[in-house]
């Protein structure tokens, strides 16, 4: 094997341009596959981090009737805060949300919104709730996301009429003042959402000391379902992202499958040509004492070595590129805010050792198989014909 590697290396280096063309194509596949996979891994990480930082923290408890995808459930999905949560809430490790449906009337239009009451002092999320801690007599302070702002055609300092129903079903209305806006890549936190002080919402609805859901900081703690409250783990809440990444991974696999196929075609072509063009050489190896099997091994090693050289070349130019990408990120050419999924405008690829090693092994194995396939023909060659370079 050592000899085959030595000879294969000599043959490849000696073949010059032909070798380097194959190696360049293959190394391009290497870098692109790692980059695409890195972008997806980065997206996954970013989406989960953003969801954690802006929406779910370490996990949640939902009122048993609450369904975030069905606003009609909001009317009944509230109940007094269970005494078991009091300690964590007091310590700032758990935050209650009260969620109700409402409507706003920007520029005379009607738009349905979800009103979320949240404590202005909360430290669990990155939401700028501190600005809600404002005493106002003529309006309710509110913060909204930029996506919501765009939808309402409103910005900080603008006012709008808010209508809601209290616990008894009675309609009420008041003016809302946008005190701050935030930019987030998690649509569920932004689109259609208005955040106002929790106590204010409780007062507006007559739902004193009530909540719809709770987010908590500590995801490690054992948390059973409680009477009327369903525990939702972080994994459960981010499953949607995992599923989305899985679908994306499947889709991009097609892309790098094509890239790999192109590189493999180049290698396959080279191998087939080699076997025709290097018949005399094959005969010479046999005359000098190689078995035909060993010649097959030599040609296969040569093919596999394309992957090794490509890996080295990829490391030379790909590593700086990939590291730069990890730092600078990849900014998507189109506005992602209305994609309806947790995707930032700039994605920062994340490369794990497993990703690099896995890609290297995959390319090496595929290249070896592709190299072995045409090389098998050598085993059927008559050495005396091969020595004379007779096409067989």
Partner 1 sequence: MENGHIIEIEKLVKKFPMGKGEFIALNGIDLILDKGEFAGLVGPSGSGKTTLLNIVGTLDVPSVGKAVVLGRSVGNLTAKEAARLRKENLGFIFQSYNLLVVHTVFENVEFPLLLLKYSSQERKKMVMDALEWVGLTDKVKQKPPQLSGGECQRVAIARAMVKRPSLVLADEPTANLDAANSHNILKTMETLNRELKTTFLFATHDDKVISYLRRKIFLADGRIEKEERTDD
The residues of the shown chain that bind partner 1, judged by CB under 8 A, are: 3, 6-7, 10-11, 13-15, 280-281, 283-284, 286-294, 383-384, 387
Tell the smallest beta-carbon distance from residue 369 to partner 1 (Å): 24
The alpha-helical segments, DSSP class H, found in 67-175 are: 86-90, 146-152
Tell the smallest beta-carbon distance from residue 315 to partner 1 (Å): 25
Element housing 187 (H / E): helix 187-190
Tell the smallest beta-carbon distance from residue 10 to partner 1 (Å): 6
Work out whether the CA dihedral 352, 354, 357, 359 comes out positive or negative. Answer: negative
Work out whether the CA dihedral 211, 59, 185, 343 comes out positive or negative. Answer: negative
Tell the smallest beta-carbon distance from residue 308 to partner 1 (Å): 18
Tell the smallest beta-carbon distance from residue 343 to partner 1 (Å): 50
Tell the smallest beta-carbon distance from residue 280 to partner 1 (Å): 6
Closer residue to partner 1 in complex, CB, 147/282: 282
CA–CA dist 109, 105 (Å, integer)? 5
Residue by residue, DSSP assigns 270-301 as HHHHHHHHTHHHHHHHHHTT--HHHHHHHHHH
Contact in structure between 175 and 138 (CB atoms under 8 Å): yes
**Pairing assessment for the beta strands 171-182 and 140-145 based on DSSP bridges:** parallel
Closer residue to partner 1 in complex, CB, 79/286: 286
What is the Rg, in whole angstroms, of the alpha carbon atoms belonging to the chain? Answer: 31
State residue 146 phi and psi, 5-degree precision. -65, -35
Closer residue to partner 1 in complex, CB, 223/292: 292
Tell the smallest beta-carbon distance from residue 19 to partner 1 (Å): 10
Closer residue to partner 1 in complex, CB, 17/110: 17
Nearest to 280 by CA among 383, 168, 162: 383
- Sorted by sequence, the CB contacts under 8 Å of residue 130 that are 6+ apart come out as 120, 121
Closer residue to partner 1 in complex, CB, 6/239: 6
State residue 214 phi and psi, 5-degree precision. -130, 140
Contact in structure between 306 and 26 (CB atoms under 8 Å): yes
């Amino acid at each position: 094997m050592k000899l085959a590697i030595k000879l294969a290396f000599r043959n490849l280096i000696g073949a010059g341009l032909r070798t380097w063309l194959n190696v360049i194509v293959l190394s391009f596949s290497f870098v692109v596959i790692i980059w695409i996979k890195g972008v997806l891994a980065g997206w996954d990480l970013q989406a989960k981090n953003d969801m954690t930082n802006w929406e779910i923290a370490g996990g949640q408890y939902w009122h048993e009737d609450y369904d975030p995808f069905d606003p009609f459930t909001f009317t009944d999905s509230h109940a007094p805060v269970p005494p078991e949560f009091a300690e964590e809430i007091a310590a700032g490790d758990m935050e209650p949300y009260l969620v109700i449906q409402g409507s706003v009337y920007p520029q005379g239009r009607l738009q349905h919104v979800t009103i979320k009451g949240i404590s202005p002092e909360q430290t669990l999320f990155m939401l700028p709730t501190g600005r809600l801690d404002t005493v106002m007599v003529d309006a309710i302070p509110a913060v909204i996301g930029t996506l919501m702002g765009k939808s309402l055609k409103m910005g900080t300092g603008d006012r709008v009429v808010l209508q809601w129903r209290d616990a008894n079903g009675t309609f009420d209305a008041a003016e809302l003042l946008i005190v701050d806006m935030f930019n987030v890549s998690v649509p569920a936190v932004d689109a259609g959402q208005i955040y106002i002080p929790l106590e204010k919402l409780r007062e507006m609805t007559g739902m004193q000391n009530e909540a719809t859901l709770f987010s908590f900081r500590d995801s490690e703690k054992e948390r059973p379902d409680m009477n009327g409250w369903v525990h939702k783990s972080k994994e459960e809440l981010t499953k949607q992202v995992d599923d989305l990444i899985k679908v994306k991974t499947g889709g991009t696999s097609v892309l790098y499958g094509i890239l790999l196929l192109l590189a493999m075609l180049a290698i396959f072509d080279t191998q087939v040509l080699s076997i025709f063009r290097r018949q005399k050489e094959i005969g010479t190896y046999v005359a000098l004492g190689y078995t035909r099997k060993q010649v097959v091994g030599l040609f296969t090693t040569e093919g596999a070595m394309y992957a090794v050289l490509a890996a080295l070349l990829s490391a030379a130019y790909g590593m700086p590129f990939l590291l730069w990408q990890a730092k600078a990120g990849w900014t998507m050419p189109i506005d992602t805010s209305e994609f309806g999924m947790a995707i930032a405008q700039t994605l920062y690829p994340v490369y794990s050792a497993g990703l690099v090693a896995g890609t290297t092994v995959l390319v090496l194995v595929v290249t070896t198989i592709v190299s072995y396939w045409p090389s098998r023909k050598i085993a059927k060659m008559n050495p005396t014909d091969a020595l004379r370079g007779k096409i067989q």
